[in-house]
Chain A
Amino acid sequence: MKKLLSIFAVVAFAFSANAGTLDDVKNRGFLKCGVTTGLAGFAAPDDNGEWAGLDADMCRAVAVAVFGDRSKVEFITTTGKSRFPTLASGEVDMLARNTTWTISRDVNLGFEFVGVNFYDGQGFMVPSALGVSSATELDGATVCIQTGTTTELNLADFFRLNGISYEALPIETNDEGKENLFAGRCDVYTTDASGLSSTRAAASNPDKWVVLPEIISKEPLGPLVRHGDHQWGDVVRWSLNAMIIAEELGITSENVDAQTSSNVPEVLRLLGVEGNYGEMLELSNDWAYQIIKQIGNYSESYEANVGPDTPLEIARGLNALWTQGGILYAPPFR
């Protein structure tokens, strides 16, 4: 009986051990990061089978911060529906999965959004042959919509507000959306504008599709962790902030070595030459240096994955730095 009780005690401990994610990650030797099932530009395997994209870079940045090695990350795919249980159960350490920061997710679901790595908004995409120029002309259309998302709720609100009807075709993944849209099962596909650009880029003939001008919602997408583990939340938050601050300070993966002898105090603090900010986070002191060296600053990641020179062709817009007309802003590094 004593033995039995001790087994129960051990199992109980295993179930409730959710604090100290940083230590868990360190002990495990790699980071488990939840990403999408494949959304080009954000997280999708590239030609070499390597995960690439803005969100994938976010995961790698955290892995670099903890281990100093961008390869120490296991990508775990999650659908719109499975992502939250996967995170809550501890199957992943963090999500970087085009997830919109909302009050109910932040408060009621027991998660913590640590920042925004992409400011997005919900849009509509239709075949150009339909001749539709505004979303308000979509009365009676069949709309492909990913279930379990904020876009699903915005969609209902938008059509209700405009007094027009629609028929929802619920889908689970972006690929299903593509398939149904391209086959004409639905007239319209709605999701975050970035997702539409990604889907359009993947079409055999992108010119056949237009993204309508209306953006019907705010969709701040960002990485999130479980609520209550502030130490781990800080690590993820500042991995993101480090990339943004690096852009502000003009530090890139190319010039980061030269910058270690800079005379700007904030640069020296960020790169770990001065101060002990790494220690405060229980990381090595050159954690931010390594992120910039191995991943790049925010701008480099953006331009490589979703920027105007990529198939997605998304201009910086809101995602430009606050000094350049956007709203990207990180707290000071001091």
Chain B
Amino acid sequence: MRSNLGLFSDEKFRSIFFQTLVVGLFALGLFFVISTTSYNLEKRNIATGWSFLQNPAGFDISFSPFLEFKSTDTHLKVYFVGVLNTLLVSVTGCIAATILGFILGIIRLSSNWLLSRLVYIYVEFSRNVPLLLQIILWYSILIQLPRVKQSLQILDVFYISNRGLYSPRPIFESGFSYVSIAIVLALISSFLINRWAKKRQDKTGQQFPVFSSSIGLIFIFPLILFFILGSPLSFEHPELKGFNFKGGLVIRPEFIAMFLALSIYTAAFISEIVRAGIMSVSKGQREASAAIGLKQTWIMRLIIIPQALRVIVPPLTSQYLNLTKNSSLGIAVGYADLVHGFGGISLNQTGQAIECMAIVMATYLSISLTISFFMNIYNRSIQFKEK
């Protein structure tokens, strides 16, 4: 008894003992869940395994902008279509939410009473109404648009109906690859110019018009080439044939509803993060930079934002993760994302619930970890570097 107590009073032993206990219990629990599951699956004659991935899906997915999908393709391809659609709405949503969030966050701090109040109302509204309702709201509005035969026409090239937004599809002809190469070259050289100009300014204090020269390089240089090559670009216009428009590019209302709801909802959170970030920079910084005669826009760009970013980026990362995970709500409006296609239809047609869910969860986990990884790298790069 005494010796036992003695052992337990040893801090090192105690900590190892309890940690082993916790790990052991966890492993036992895990073992228990897995064995019960496989026991019951076997008992109910539910087939398990991964071979279903190679079986033909048998159903069609219409929304697949990156991969051609036919009903004879496999469930594995359903998975890839789903991942791409999830990424599409997540990436576009994150970009839009960031831009909107930054603008709104700054407006919220503006001294204009009306503007700042309007943003306040927007933020409170979209933060406090469930996202699912917002998605359904947007979708309900979109399917009340005119029917396809009565589409609204804009400039004779865009058509809006409850089947989506139809626009001309650009067709790149043979010479266009030179223009693309020109754009890439222009981007690289403006990046190099920017570096060179910074170095020169550090050394000599002389400034170089980086912005206007980059614009010139990126836009005007390829444009001239484009015309020299005889405009190797044409458009395929959508045409109403039979039931639907044929040809052209189309953005479906399911995607638009998801995109709008996700970006508007998340932008509200981001705008608050941006506001908090800007307010965290002490007032003295602004006053000091005004005192040395910097312009208002420069104060924001050179003094306030870089310091605010240190506060903004960590919670911003978690908003990106939220948006990506929230995109799984696409199922509510039939947006063919990962959960809806692979985690829903494939799961249901094959009955392989555990396998499908495991794959879907692992996929979301990897997407989230990838976002965190890159955001952490970015976060480190903007931290205050002590010398």
Q: Are B345 and A152 in contact (CB under 8 A)?
A: yes
Picked from A130, A155, A160, A226, the residue with its CB within 8 Å of the CB of B44 is A226
> Which of A8-16, A57-65, A259-267, A300-308 contacts its partner?
A8-16
Mask, A96-126, CB within 8 Å of B = 1, is 0000000011011110000000000000000
Q: Are A15 and B40 in contact (CB under 8 A)?
A: yes
Taking the closest CB of chain B, its distance from the CB of A95, in whole angstroms, is 14
Q: Are A170 and B336 in contact (CB under 8 A)?
A: yes
Taking the closest CB of chain A, its distance from the CB of B42, in whole angstroms, is 10
Whole-angstrom CA separation of A147 from B333 in the bound complex: 12
Q: Are A110 and B58 in contact (CB under 8 A)?
A: no
Taking the closest CB of chain B, its distance from the CB of A189, in whole angstroms, is 13
Cβ–Cβ < 8 Å partners of A228 in chain B: 43-45
Cβ–Cβ < 8 Å partners of A88 in chain B: 44, 46
15 further interface pairs, Cβ-Cβ under 8 Å (given A11-B32, A185-B162): A16-B36, A81-B344, A81-B348, A84-B348, A85-B353, A108-B46, A110-B44, A138-B243, A140-B241, A140-B244, A141-B242, A147-B345, A152-B345, A157-B71, A226-B44
Whole-angstrom CA separation of A124 from B331 in the bound complex: 24
Whole-angstrom CA separation of A184 from B349 in the bound complex: 28
Cβ–Cβ < 8 Å partners of B143 in chain A: 179-180, 183, 185
Whole-angstrom CA separation of A185 from B353 in the bound complex: 31
Whole-angstrom CA separation of A159 from B347 in the bound complex: 23
Q: Are A148 and B345 in contact (CB under 8 A)?
A: yes
In A42-101, the 8 Å CB interface with B consists of 80-81, 84-85, 88
A187/B349 contact (C-beta < 8 A), A16-B39, A170-B334, A171-B334 known: no
Q: Are B46 and A140 in contact (CB under 8 A)?
A: no
Mask, B23-35, CB within 8 Å of A = 1, is 0000000001000
Q: Are A160 and B71 in contact (CB under 8 A)?
A: yes
Picked from B147, B163, B241, B344, the residue with its CB within 8 Å of the CB of A147 is B344
Picked from A84, A148, A166, A180, the residue with its CB within 8 Å of the CB of B344 is A148
Cβ–Cβ < 8 Å partners of A156 in chain B: 58-60, 71
| B101 proximal to A (CB < 8 A) | no
In B319-367, the 8 Å CB interface with A consists of 331, 334, 336, 340, 344-345, 347-351, 353
Whole-angstrom CA separation of A167 from B144 in the bound complex: 19
Whole-angstrom CA separation of A110 from B42 in the bound complex: 9
Whole-angstrom CA separation of A172 from B129 in the bound complex: 23
Taking the closest CB of chain B, its distance from the CB of A111, in whole angstroms, is 9
Taking the closest CB of chain A, its distance from the CB of B271, in whole angstroms, is 33
User: B28: nearest residue on chain A (CB-CB)?
Assistant: A8
Cβ–Cβ < 8 Å partners of B148 in chain A: 184
Taking the closest CB of chain B, its distance from the CB of A147, in whole angstroms, is 5
A185/B163 contact (C-beta < 8 A), A18-B40, A85-B353, A170-B336 known: yes
Cβ–Cβ < 8 Å partners of B349 in chain A: 148, 152-153
| B105 proximal to A (CB < 8 A) | no
- Among A18, A88, A170, A184, max chain B CB count under 10 A is at A170
- Among B32, B39, B143, B241, max chain A CB count under 10 A is at B143
Taking the closest CB of chain A, its distance from the CB of B24, in whole angstroms, is 11
Whole-angstrom CA separation of A157 from B70 in the bound complex: 11
Whole-angstrom CA separation of A141 from B60 in the bound complex: 14
Q: Are B39 and A147 in contact (CB under 8 A)?
A: no
Whole-angstrom CA separation of A18 from B47 in the bound complex: 18
Mask, B110-151, CB within 8 Å of A = 1, is 000000000000000000000000000000000110011000
| B246 proximal to A (CB < 8 A) | yes
In B129-187, the 8 Å CB interface with A consists of 143-144, 147-148, 162-163
| B62 proximal to A (CB < 8 A) | yes
Q: Are A16 and B40 in contact (CB under 8 A)?
A: yes
User: A141: nearest residue on chain B (CB-CB)?
Assistant: B243
| A37 proximal to B (CB < 8 A) | no
Whole-angstrom CA separation of A105 from B351 in the bound complex: 8
In B285-304, the 8 Å CB interface with A consists of none
Whole-angstrom CA separation of A153 from B58 in the bound complex: 5
Taking the closest CB of chain A, its distance from the CB of B113, in whole angstroms, is 41
| B61 proximal to A (CB < 8 A) | yes
Picked from B32, B46, B336, B350, the residue with its CB within 8 Å of the CB of A12 is B32
Cβ–Cβ < 8 Å partners of B162 in chain A: 183-185
| A142 proximal to B (CB < 8 A) | yes
User: B58: nearest residue on chain A (CB-CB)?
Assistant: A153
Cβ–Cβ < 8 Å partners of B350 in chain A: 108
Q: Are B59 and A152 in contact (CB under 8 A)?
A: yes
Q: Are B351 and A108 in contact (CB under 8 A)?
A: yes
Cβ–Cβ < 8 Å partners of A172 in chain B: 331, 334
Cβ–Cβ < 8 Å partners of A15 in chain B: 36, 40
A142/B244 contact (C-beta < 8 A), A157-B71, A185-B162 known: yes
User: B161: nearest residue on chain A (CB-CB)?
Assistant: A184
Taking the closest CB of chain B, its distance from the CB of A79, in whole angstroms, is 10
Cβ–Cβ < 8 Å partners of A254 in chain B: none
| B253 proximal to A (CB < 8 A) | yes
Whole-angstrom CA separation of A139 from B163 in the bound complex: 16
Cβ–Cβ < 8 Å partners of B44 in chain A: 18, 88, 110, 226-228
Q: Are A80 and B348 in contact (CB under 8 A)?
A: yes
Whole-angstrom CA separation of A105 from B348 in the bound complex: 10
Q: Are B242 and A139 in contact (CB under 8 A)?
A: yes
Cβ–Cβ < 8 Å partners of A105 in chain B: 351
A140/B71 contact (C-beta < 8 A), A16-B40, A109-B351 known: no
List 11 A-B pairs, Cβ < 8 Å: A16-B43, A81-B347, A85-B353, A105-B351, A108-B351, A140-B244, A152-B59, A156-B59, A159-B60, A179-B143, A184-B147
A18/B43 contact (C-beta < 8 A), A8-B32, A142-B243, A148-B349 known: yes
Mask, B238-279, CB within 8 Å of A = 1, is 000111101000000100000000000000000000000000
Taking the closest CB of chain A, its distance from the CB of B72, in whole angstroms, is 8
Cβ–Cβ < 8 Å partners of B43 in chain A: 16, 18, 228
Picked from A110, A141, A167, the residue with its CB within 8 Å of the CB of B46 is A110
Taking the closest CB of chain A, its distance from the CB of B57, in whole angstroms, is 8
Taking the closest CB of chain A, its distance from the CB of B141, in whole angstroms, is 11
| A168 proximal to B (CB < 8 A) | yes
Q: Are A167 and B242 in contact (CB under 8 A)?
A: no
Taking the closest CB of chain A, its distance from the CB of B161, in whole angstroms, is 8
Taking the closest CB of chain B, its distance from the CB of A4, in whole angstroms, is 9
